[in-house]
Amino acid sequence: MYAKIKILFIFFILFFIFALPAGASEIQQITFIVSQPNYQVNDQVKPMDAATFIENNRTYVPVRFLGDALKAKTVWSQNIKMVTLLLNNINVSLNMGSKIITINGQANPIDVAPVLKNNRTYLPARPIAEAFGFKVKWEKEGKKVVVLPPEKPAETKVLNETTNNNSPDNKTDHNKENKNEETTLELKTGEENGLTKATIIAFQPIKDYKIFKLTAPDRLIIDLFDIRPGNLPPAVMVNFEVVSQVRVGWFSKSPDPDVTRLVFDLNKKAAYRSYLSEDKKILDLEIFTPKPGEENLVVLDPGHGGNDPGAVGQAGLKEKDVNLDVAKRVKEILTSQNIKTELTREGDNYVDLYERSGMANNYGASVFVSIHMNAHENRDANGTSVFYYCYFNGQKEEEIVRQEKSKELANITQQNLLNLLGLRDRGVQQANFAVLRTASMPAVLVEAAFISNYTEENLLAQEYFRQKIAQAVAQGITDFITTQL
């Protein structure tokens, strides 16, 4: 059940989309007359079970009949009160009461919102028809809205744009490959015990991707960089417990790098996990309603390792060993509280900096904590500090939110460390560390004590003290997670 039916469904939609490219061109004229419970397509009169009306100078038509008239596929998502119309690869959605029309993933303001009257949804005819490239005229005399089809089917335009990407004046590297747009991306969705599973199959490695959540309405967004949507349908209705539909858009295209955006419209707050296959061609995603403790995956990063010992104390204590021991203790505490935890290294091995944050990104972790001990030439230097990355400068909204949350996590962690360790407060500090900058979730780097300070090295050598650090870090993480729910 998981994959097969849904694949069939996707192919059905594909067939539907590509089988009807001429759908729009058959229409010569659609006419809605205010207060009339019917509309006309060319010369044919079609009945409606409700009448068109005018409000705020806009003509409203019952959603079902507007969709039928335009030959668009119409889907109503009850839980998020959203109407989606699909025609010729153009996906238009509106939420009840919202003056925003979303066309292929791009939000645009409109002057009126869809309205509910007598338990029926009415859409403003003009912005919808125009979104699909139709021309709309208002004939005052007969109180008629006349809708004329696009001069060219919208799909031709899309294909032309694709062709233009390969024009000789476009010199970006990826255009040298003669890509087959039919087979860039596949999407399979299924449901098991309320758990939505999605598999994204790319026909070239997914070098980079980003997953984040947006609210009002709740959505889970996946951006695939340097990947084109190919012939994925713009919307797939799934009606699962957690996910109502998946929308696909070509979020950014030439001359900018290609970004394919998948939007999972959520029926309720949801958590997710993602796994990228070793060849980076398959991205598996699980979306689910969090059970206590299950929502958050914490990734702990014991600094240094292998041939990189980190700082070494006067008595010979190596930072890499202390970091790993503390991280394992934090993991044990969190695991005992049913919080899923992963380490970027389990043993004394070298891990690249980018690989560390990359692991957290690929796991879809909700918290990343890198564990270090501080060092300074001045052996008197001592105390506790926690670092986070902060660089507000024209960043995307989700990155600004991430940086603010990183600061919160840093503050809570520092407070717990001070309470439990009683060392000098060196404060929460900003730093441009690669592991913090490249993580896509709230991320901090803990410098619990100075291994270069003889007194603190002595403390770090003792098990009870490392356990205290672990308790403080774990408490900081759980405090943070609790405030986020």
Contact footprint for Zn ion (CB under 5 A): 303, 310, 372
Q: Residue 279, Cα to own-chain centre: how many angstroms?
A: 22
Maximum pairwise Cα distance, the chain: 95
The nearer residue to Zn ion, 67 or 310, going by C-beta atoms, is 310
Would you call 181 exposed, middle or buried from its count of C-beta atoms within 10 A (0-12, 13-18, 19+)? middle
Distance CA 267, CA 288 (A): 11
**Minimum distance from CB of 447 to Zn ion (Å)?**
7
The nearer residue to Zn ion, 15 or 354, going by C-beta atoms, is 354
Joined tokens for residue 43: 């010369």
The nearer residue to Zn ion, 310 or 358, going by C-beta atoms, is 310
The nearer residue to Zn ion, 345 or 372, going by C-beta atoms, is 372
Quickly list H helices, 71-222: 125-131, 154-164
447 flagged as catalytic? yes
Distance CA 444, CA 428 (A): 10
**Minimum distance from CB of 359 to Zn ion (Å)?**
18
**Minimum distance from CB of 322 to Zn ion (Å)?**
10
Which residue number is nearest to Zn ion in terms of Cβ?
A: 372
Distance CA 182, CA 228 (A): 10
| SS3 at position 281 | coil
The nearer residue to Zn ion, 67 or 303, going by C-beta atoms, is 303
**Would strands 297-302 and 367-374 be described as parallel, antiparallel, or unpaired?**
parallel
The nearer residue to Zn ion, 372 or 407, going by C-beta atoms, is 372
Work out the end-to-end distance of the chain between its first and last CA atoms, rounded to an integer number of angstroms. Answer: 33
Sequence-distant (≥ 6) Cβ neighbours of residue 84 within 8 angstroms: 74, 75, 76, 77, 91, 92, 93, 235, 237, 245, 247
Catalytic residue among 241, 319, 447, 456: 447
**Minimum distance from CB of 372 to Zn ion (Å)?**
4
**Minimum distance from CB of 477 to Zn ion (Å)?**
19
In the β-sheet with 384-388, what is the strand arrangement from edge to edge?
A: 340-343, 297-302, 367-374, 443-450, 384-388, 425-430
**Minimum distance from CB of 115 to Zn ion (Å)?**
59
Kindly list the catalytic residues: 447
